[in-house]
Amino acid sequence: MNTNTKNIFKHALIIVNPVSGLGDPKKRRELIKNTAKEVGWIGEYEETTLRKSAGYIAKNAIKKGIKHIVVCGGDGTVMEALVAAVKKPVNVGVVPLGTGNLFARNLDLPLETEKAVKLALTGNAEKIDIGVANGKYFSIVAGMGIDVDMIKDATRELKNKLGFFAYILLQLKI
């Protein structure tokens, strides 16, 4: 899809995982909202909770006819929204807020929140590949063995303290 017109996605739903990544969630929330408003965004904003995942929020929004979702969070949050959008007429913009941000790094998306919000709301939509293995979708990485254990065992608390190094520490068994 060619989106040469600025602010084509101004009616986007912004989904934010407030516990993704490091830093003050309140400051991040304000930065996301203020940056979005700077580029003309007038859509809705919703945060994930234990009961409402990014996938749940995205599915409901798509059912209501939303055509553009901006998902702000880590790789898990991003995948939840992407899975909800598979084979649907919807664009998904990504604002990386996680520990590793592999999805954003692999696609060379900006890691700075302001730049990522602006791109997600005004950039050109590109198709990406999404695979499926054992009935589960993936786009970031498909793994088995040590890499699965590494990601699974990294708690939110450990990631908050050590960032990306939490994954490495667990594998070194220190």
Residue 9, pLDDT score: 79
pLDDT in tens, 33-61: 999 999 999 999 999 999 999 999 999 99
Residue 164 has pLDDT above 70, yes or no: no
Residue 22, pLDDT score: 77
Neighbours of 104 (CB within 10 A): 21
Residue 131, pLDDT score: 84
pLDDT in tens, 111-125: 999 999 999 999 988
Can you read off the two tokens belonging to residue 39?
């580029």
Residue 122, pLDDT score: 93
Residue 3, pLDDT score: 39
Question: Going along 102-146, which residue ranges are E strands?
Answer: 131-133, 136-138
| 86 or 131, higher pLDDT | 86
| 11 or 134, higher pLDDT | 11
Is residue 55 classed exposed, middle or buried when 0-12, 13-18 and 19+ CB atoms within 10 A define those classes?
buried
Residue 10 has pLDDT above 70, yes or no: yes
pLDDT band at 2 (very low <50, low <70, confident <90, very high): very low
| 11 or 95, higher pLDDT | 95
Neighbours of 146 (CB within 10 A): 9
Is residue 130 classed exposed, middle or buried when 0-12, 13-18 and 19+ CB atoms within 10 A define those classes?
middle
